[in-house]
Structures are given as C-alpha cells and as structure tokens.
C-alpha cells in the first residue's frame, strides 16, 4: 500500500482525480486528492491574497496532517511549481515525484516564465480586470477533451488566483533531484503552454546536470491530451502504480 498525493493544475480541483482515485483505491493504495485554496470546492476562499506560497502550504500541510512518509506526489500542469517546492522542502517525505504534463521550472522561474508573451499578457490583463485578481479557465477543448468529458470539466472549472502566475520559485535542484522523478508527456494533442518543458525533461544538462542525476528520472509518453486523469485514467494509473 502506497500513499498518493494528487495535486491538480490551474482551474481544476480535487474533483478532477475522481477516476484515478477510484482505481488507486481498487489496487489497495490510499489517495489524497488536494484542492488548492481558491478553486474547486474551495472557490469561496478566492482572494487577491492567495499566492504560490499559499498553495505550497496547502500541500505540505496535507502531508503533515496525514503524517505521510514515502508518499508518491503527483502534480499536474501548474502544480509542477508546487511539486518542485515540496520536493525541495521535504524530500525525506517523498518516495517519488510525478510531473503530469507539468511545469518543471529552473530556480528563480515562475509558472509564467516559459509561456508565450501573448498568453502571459492575456492572463495578467484578465486578472487585473477582475475583482479578486483571478483569471478565467480556457475551453477544455484545448486539453483534448470532447463530449461528456468536455462538459464535465467545463462546468467544474473555476477561475485561478492570479498572484500564483508570476511568483518566482527558489529551490535547490540537487535536493529535488534526490527524489526519483517521472515526467508524463501528454502528446495528443500537445498543450502549447507545456511545449517549452518537453525538451527540458529530455536534456541531461537541465538543472546543470542535476535533473538527469540524483535518484533518476524517466519520461513516459501518453497518447492523450493535457488532462489524462480525465481522458485516460487507466493508463495514467498504470504509470503511477510503477512509482509505488
């Protein structure tokens, strides 16, 4: 039995992991699907005071409260920032770190650092125009979702706290690399905002060589879109089970 901590990306909530949680439970594992402050069922807490550190504290707090040791931390999309921070601050609590089509930053980068200027400017403008400094979700079609899956995600998505977007993250790459890592590359269709990350995770020089060293890293491709926990949960769980 392994403890999995599942952290959603922007605009989502713990709800998006439902199909993954059910399958992990069926295999005898425990799964903790966090919902970050200000989104999902915690949307009533949306505030301009929410920062990247708020969301990091959400996850470290869950790990502490559940007294987890040897957990597999699974982070999706934006939450790659959070997973990197958690692995830097409490590596001894993690068995494996799984980036699911996620941001993998360099020290000092923010979530927005690797995105195109047009996307960055549009999100910042939307946040500035809102009452609570948040920006709205995109159409789930960009995640490769259609039909019932598209409708489910579209009605569940909520605006995302804007001050998480440009917040830089400082961390020690070697300390993070001491945690075994898997990057799940979702390829059909590829989400444009992750394009800059794909070559990084295949580059042995990334993090000045620390990425390819440490406790080891692998890249797994899934022929699905950016929300594999929705579109291909069985295939994603098969990858996660290998990390247990």
3-state SS assignment for residue 53: helix
Supply φ then ψ for residue 24, to 5 degrees: -65, -40
Using a cut of 0.95, tell me whether the model's pTM lies above it: yes
Q: How many residues does the chain have?
A: 244
3-state SS assignment for residue 218: strand
* Domain map (residue ranges) of the chain: 3-242
pLDDT in tens, 12-64: 999 999 999 999 999 999 999 999 999 999 999 999 999 999 999 999 999 99
Instruction: Over range 135-146, report the average pLDDT.
Output: 98
> How is domain 3-242 classified at the architecture level of CATH?
3-Layer(aba) Sandwich (3.40)
- Cα–Cα distance for residue pair 37/4, rounded to 1 Å: 20
Q: What percent of the chain has pLDDT over 90?
A: 100
- Cα–Cα distance for residue pair 62/45, rounded to 1 Å: 17
For residue 75, give every residue at least 6 positions away whose Cβ sits within 8 Å of its Cβ, in sequence order, or none: 7, 82, 83, 97, 98, 99, 100, 102
Give the residue among 83, 93, 73, 91 at the shortest CA–CA distance from 179: 91
* DSSP bridge partners of 76: 100
- Cα–Cα distance for residue pair 200/228, rounded to 1 Å: 21
Could you give the residue numbers annotated as active site? 77
């Amino acid at each position: 039995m392994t403890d999995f901590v599942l952290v959603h990306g922007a605009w989502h909530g713990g709800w998006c992991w439902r199909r993954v949680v059910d399958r992990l439970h069926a295999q005898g594992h425990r799964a903790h699907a966090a919902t970050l402050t200000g989104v999902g069922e915690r949307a009533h807490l949306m505030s301009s005071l929410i920062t990247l550190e708020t969301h990091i504290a959400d996850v470290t707090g869950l790990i502490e409260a559940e007294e987890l040791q040897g957990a597999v931390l699974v982070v999706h999309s934006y939450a790659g920032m959070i997973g990197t921070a958690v692995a830097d601050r409490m590596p001894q609590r993690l068995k494996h770190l799984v980036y699911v089509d996620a941001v993998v930053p360099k020290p000092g980068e923010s979530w927005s650092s690797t995105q195109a200027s047009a996307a960055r400017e549009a999100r910042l403008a939307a946040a500035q125009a809102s009452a609570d400094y948040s920006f709205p979700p995109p159409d789930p079609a960009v995640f490769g979702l259609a039909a019932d899956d598209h409708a489910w995600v579209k009605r569940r998505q909520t605006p995302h706290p804007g001050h998480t977007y440009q917040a830089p993250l400082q961390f020690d790459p070697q300390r993070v690399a001491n945690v075994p890592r898997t990057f799940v590359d979702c390829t059909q269709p590829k989400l444009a905002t992750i394009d800059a990350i794909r070559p990084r995770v295949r580059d042995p020089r990334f993090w000045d060589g620390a990425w390819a060293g440490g406790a080891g890293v692998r890249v797994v491709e899934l022929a699905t879109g950016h929300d594999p926990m929705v579109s291909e949960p069985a295939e994603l769980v098969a990858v996660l089970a290998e990390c247990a």
